[in-house]
Amino acid sequence: MTLRRRILWYYSFTLSLSLVIVGFWSWFEFNEQREEALHGGAEAALKHDPLEETFEIILYGGLPAILLGIFGGGLLMRRALRPIEELTEVLEKTDVSNLGHLVPRSGNGDELDRMTAVFNRMKQRLGASFTQSREFTLHASHELKTPLTILHGTLEQMLTQEPVDGAGHDKLVSMIEEVQRLSHIVGQLAFLARADAGQMALNKEEVTLDELVRDLADETAILAAPRRIEVALKACEPCRVNADRMRLRQLLLNLADNAVKHNREGGSVQIRLVTEGRHAVFGILNTGLLLPPEQHERVFERFFRGEAAHGYETDGSGLGLSIAQSIVAAHGGEIGYSTTGEERTEVTFRLPLAGQER
């Protein structure tokens, strides 16, 4: 039965039941007058005011019929439209992680059942597309590592073993730097491909996060020194989390490098670590040019770089925050980006404290 016919049937049923109620009460009133006319004569029957009888029929027959039509019809329509609500809920929860989970079909062949079938086929196509994309990135990055390693080694040999004049020396050094940069990007892409495929291996242990943050502040000061950027550790509350120490350090260094790289000359970086309820909250705030509000939601996209970062002075591939997001997500945390009106940008992440994981 199609959805249109089901709704029509529900409507017809409710309307028919309402008419039965009105008809029954009308029969009751007319039968009462008939009995009075048979036993008391015409005068007894004429005592009843027609307007009053009509009002009684409307009040005791029509009003219940209307209420039944409203509430009964609402319940029946809710039942008819419930599959739409369920399909909407599934659509809202659909993301890359559950494309392989098909939506159960009702099997009755109506419009919603056919729509569910179309949606399942779409999920299968999207899942296959994402899988192919991840496999391509993973395999391509793996295949690129060997020739890049060979190229890097060859260039280093040319630089150290053969006599090279000043201009040639500078060209070789520049080529080595570009090969190193390309190798770094290939490594980042391989990491993200493994993270997307759920292949990020985590060796979780209880980590003292405040110690890592103190070390980070010292290392950030070294990175920031050439540009005279002031680094301050504003808060560092003792806390421990269950995490992969190496990945956690990679996360912190990515955020610190991003804060220094996208800073202005003579600016500042502020680092904080506090506990809020069941979570450890880390934040790193830096000065520099702000992104337009419409670009805030794109900062964690791969290869996204704001207009200010497209110049040659700012190095980077636009993958740092994507990697940070993947690491935080793998540890069951949340990461966010915000700006203030004082040309300050802050990236924060929350991780469950040790013993507080759900």
Instruction: Read off the tokens for 113.
Output: 């059942």
216 and 331 assigned to the same domain: yes
Q: Look up the CATH number of the domain holding residue 306.
A: 3.30.565.10
Decide if 103 is inside a domain. Answer: no
Decide if 116 is inside a domain. Answer: no
Last-in-domain residue among 163, 196, 229 = 196
277 and 342 assigned to the same domain: yes
305 and 220 assigned to the same domain: yes
152 and 242 assigned to the same domain: no
Q: What pLDDT score was predicted for residue 219?
A: 92
247 and 283 assigned to the same domain: yes
Q: How far is CA 35 from CA 27, 172, 233, 275, in A?
A: 12, 116, 96, 84
Please give the Cα distance from 334 to 324 (Å, whole number).
10
Last-in-domain residue among 176, 196, 216 = 196
Task: Read off the pLDDT of residues 158-198 as tens digits, 9 standing for 90 and up.
Answer: 878 767 777 777 788 888 888 888 887 787 777 777 777 66
What percent of the chain clears pLDDT 90, i.e. is strictly above it? Answer: 22
210 and 181 assigned to the same domain: no
Specify the pTM.
0.60
Decide if 104 is inside a domain. Answer: no
Please give the Cα distance from 10 to 37 (Å, whole number).
41
Decide if 47 is inside a domain. Answer: yes
Tokens 């989970």 locate to: 101
Q: Look up the CATH number of the domain holding residue 191.
A: 1.10.287
Q: What pLDDT score was predicted for residue 313?
A: 52
Say if CB 295 and CB 261 are below 8 A apart: no
Query: Nearest CA to 322 among 225, 196, 228, 224?
Result: 196
Contacts with 192 (C-beta within 8 Å, 6 or more apart), sequence order: 137, 302, 319, 322, 323, 326
233 and 252 assigned to the same domain: yes
Task: Read off the pLDDT of residues 233-282 as tens digits, 9 standing for 90 and up.
Answer: 999 999 999 999 998 998 999 999 989 988 889 999 999 999 998 999 99
Q: What pLDDT score was predicted for residue 216?
A: 93
262 and 336 assigned to the same domain: yes
Identity of residue 57: I
Contacts with 106 (C-beta within 8 Å, 6 or more apart), sequence order: 83, 112, 113, 116
Which range of residues forms the domain containing residue 231? 204-352
Say if CB 250 and CB 327 are below 8 A apart: yes
Please give the Cα distance from 355 to 121 (Å, whole number).
42
Decide if 154 is inside a domain. Answer: yes
Say if CB 354 and CB 299 are below 8 A apart: no
What's the structural domain count of the chain?
A: 3
Please list the ranges in the chain whose pLDDT falls under 70: 1-8, 10-11, 25, 28-63, 65, 68-69, 72-73, 76-77, 80, 97, 162, 197-199, 306-317, 341, 357-358
- Cβ-count burial 185-206 (b if 16+ within 10 Å, e if not): bbebbbbbbbbbeeebeeeeee
Q: Which residues pair with 275 in a beta bridge?
A: 280
Integer distance in angstroms from the first to the last C-alpha of the chain? 44
User: In degrees, to the nearest 5, what angle opens at C-alpha 194 toward C-alphas 191 and 196?
Assistant: 110
178 and 214 assigned to the same domain: no
166 and 210 assigned to the same domain: no
> Which of helix, strand or coil describes residue 132?
helix
Decide if 107 is inside a domain. Answer: no
334 and 246 assigned to the same domain: yes
249 and 341 assigned to the same domain: yes
Decide if 119 is inside a domain. Answer: no
Decide if 227 is inside a domain. Answer: yes
Last-in-domain residue among 196, 215, 232 = 196
Q: What pLDDT score was predicted for residue 312?
A: 40
Contacts with 174 (C-beta within 8 Å, 6 or more apart), sequence order: none
